Amino acid sequence: TGAFTYDPGFTSTASCESKITFIDGDQGILLYRGYPIEQLAEHGDFLETCYLLLYGELPTANQKEDFVYRVTRHTMVHDQMTRFFNGFRRDAHPMAIMVASVGALSAFYHDSTDISDETQRMIAQIRMIAKMPTLAAMAYKYSIGQPFVYPDNSLDYTSNFLKMCFAVPCEEYKVNPVLSRALDRIFILHADHEQNASTSTVRLAGSSGANPFACIAAGIACLWGPAHGGANEAALKMLAEIGTPENVGKYVARAKDKNDPFRLMGFGHRVYKNYDPRARIMQRTTHEVLNELGIKDDPLLDVALELEQIALKDEYFIEKKLYPNIDFYSGITLKAMGFPTSMFTVLFALARTVGWIAQWMEMIEDPSQKIGRPRQLYVGPTRRDYMPIGQRN
Ligand code: CMC
């Protein structure tokens, strides 16, 4: 009943008005609050980008200092969280730990769950941006059986994260500034992407009035899937499976075969029908990181470059406008930095948290906001009567 527009996958539904991120998929343009992603990645840093996404303008020097101070002050998590972590199996996927631990923040920080209180909302957003690196590093340390490393608030946001992941007891750890800058840039690239599946999930969860920690946990759950944030992990596994550039042709043929469910991971995008601008920056970052680490020949990079070259010249991919997306090169870079594949989507979640929060705030502060409640086209049985069990066949 009812006349609804049927739009599976919401390919032509605008679910909200937003002033945060603009994408022109045909031209391959991505702007945060009007600023091109290329300029932010080149000249900005991640916390400045967070400020921009949250408040709409790039910060002045004083505003930035104050913002960095507030984020830095909130990097610790309650010590009881360590017991929560200890309840997981040792081999738990870190994304499972993230879904649970970020959701659990609502049970630890009651004083920032009242969404009708502006101050509480502000504290919640700072807490979330500040604590995500700590939780992500804890998830990693737990998975490899090493003790947690406490935040070092003398370091910048990304260097502190690297230290929490890679420092080990009784050994001095020095952050490599080139790697830290590269990872910071990767965070900028992932910070927001308008109404993608996980952001829409956060908005939908938030539209019921759920607290922000619970909403972000919902976003993390959605991001995990291989069609979304999980593609970086899937892309690296695929490159490893292809193994050598000579095998690329076989896999490209499989991706084109209608009867084979195989897809090239890290290729294609719902919105970009041109080269994903983030993928270009990511490709440069990959080279920079491999150079810094003295990795002259990475077989995965050789496979990736060959695959990209072949696919971009192939009629199937040209006709369907399938180009590399951000996830195509990010795995190679993160692996070279020392992250295991299971952490890739966690890093995506860490960086996307600010986008989720900015979008959540925009929704909460929008006077026309209503609970999200899609309709359906019902195609099930018409009315029928209950039959006692003995009379059913
Ligand atoms: N390899 C081979 N064929 C593909 C691919 C691919 N990676 N992506 C799309 N196609 C084909 C698909 O088979 C379909 O063909 P046809 O029209 O003949 O049925 C056509 O292109 C359109 O695909 P679609 O699935 O209808 O498009 P969509 O907008 O629903 O899906 C996508 C977008 C990103 C889910 C899809 O391109 C895909 O599965 N890519 C691989 C996974 C991936 O890299 N995801 C990361 C996306 S970017 C980061 C993020 O969002 O987190």
pLDDT, tens only, 165-182: 999 988 999 999 999 999
Task: Examine the pLDDT at 1 and tell me if it is beyond 80.
Answer: no
Percent of the chain surpassing pLDDT 90: 87
pLDDT at position 111 is: 85
How far apart (Å, rounded) are the C-alpha atoms in residues 222 and 229? 8
Residues 6+ apart with CB under 8 A from 307: 239, 242, 248, 251, 252, 264
Q: H helices of 57-156, where? A: 61-73, 80-86, 94-108, 118-144
How far apart (Å, rounded) are the C-alpha atoms in residues 353 and 217? 10
Residues 18-23 have a mean pLDDT of: 98
Check: CB of residue 129 under 8 Å from CB of residue 71. yes
Residues 227-250 have a mean pLDDT of: 92
| Residue 357, CB-side half-sphere exposure with 13 Å CA sphere | 28
Residue with tokens 């006077």: 367
pLDDT at position 256 is: 94
Q: Tell which one of 196, 263, 271 to mutate to probe ligand 1, the residue whose CB is within 8 A of the most ligand atoms.
A: 263
Query: Which among 385, 45, 327, 322 has a CA at the least distance from the CA of 185?
Result: 45
The set of protein residues with a Cβ atom below 6 angstroms from ligand 1 is: 9, 196, 227-229, 231, 255, 263-270, 320, 322, 325-327
Q: What's the gap in Å between 271 CA and the centre of ligand 1?
A: 10
Q: Which of 269, 276, 298, 302 is catalytic?
A: 269
Helix (H) or strand (E) holding 22: strand 21-24
Task: Examine the pLDDT at 341 and tell me if it is beyond 60.
Answer: yes
Boundaries of every domain in the chain = 17-227+340-364, 231-337
Residues 14-33 have a mean pLDDT of: 96
How far apart (Å, rounded) are the C-alpha atoms in residues 179 and 347? 14
How far apart (Å, rounded) are the C-alpha atoms in residues 259 and 257? 5
Fold type of domain 17-227+340-364: Citrate Synthase; domain 1 (1.10.580)
In Å, what is the CA distance from 104 to each residue of 13, 113, 150?
Answer: 33, 12, 19
Check: CB of residue 283 under 8 Å from CB of residue 335. no
Average pLDDT, the chain: 94
How far apart (Å, rounded) are the C-alpha atoms in residues 286 and 330? 7
DSSP 298-342: -HHHHHHHHHHHHHHH-HHHHHTT--B-HHHHHHHHHHHHT--GG
Q: Which two tokens stand for residue 320?
A: 């369907």
Percent of the chain surpassing pLDDT 70: 99
Task: Examine the pLDDT at 123 and tell me if it is beyond 90.
Answer: yes
Does the predicted model carry a pTM greater than 0.90?
yes
Residues 223-249 have a mean pLDDT of: 92
pLDDT at position 288 is: 94
Provide the residue count of the chain. 393
Number of H helices, E strands in the chain: 17, 3
Q: What's the gap in Å between 230 CA and the centre of ligand 1?
A: 13
CATH 1.10.230.10 fits 231-337, yes or no: yes
Question: At 298, is the pLDDT very low, low, confident or very high (cuts 50, 70, 90)?
Answer: confident
Per the annotation, the verdict on 111 as an active-site residue is no
pLDDT at position 393 is: 87
Helix (H) or strand (E) holding 197: helix 197-207
- Cite the beta strand spans of 137-281 per DSSP E: none
pLDDT at position 2 is: 65
Residue 29 has φ and ψ, to the nearest 5°, of -115, 135
Cα 324 to its chain centre, rounded Å, is 17
Task: Examine the pLDDT at 133 and tell me if it is beyond 70.
Answer: yes
Q: What's the gap in Å between 268 CA and the centre of ligand 1?
A: 5
pLDDT at position 3 is: 80
Residue with tokens 């932010």: 40
| Model confidence pLDDT, tens digit, residues 271-295 | 999 989 999 999 999 999 999 999 8
| Model confidence pLDDT, tens digit, residues 71-120 | 999 999 999 999 999 999 988 999 999 999 999 999 998 888 888 889 99
Check: CB of residue 177 under 8 Å from CB of residue 169. no
Q: Tell which one of 30, 270, 323 to mutate to probe ligand 1, the residue whose CB is within 8 A of the most ligand atoms.
A: 270
Per the annotation, the verdict on 79 as an active-site residue is no
| Residue 39, CB-side half-sphere exposure with 13 Å CA sphere | 9
CA-proximal residue: ligand 1, atom 1 (nearest): 263
Q: What's the gap in Å between 270 CA and the centre of ligand 1?
A: 7
DSSP 111-131: GG--TT-HHHHHHHHHHHHHH
Residue with tokens 């292809």: 242
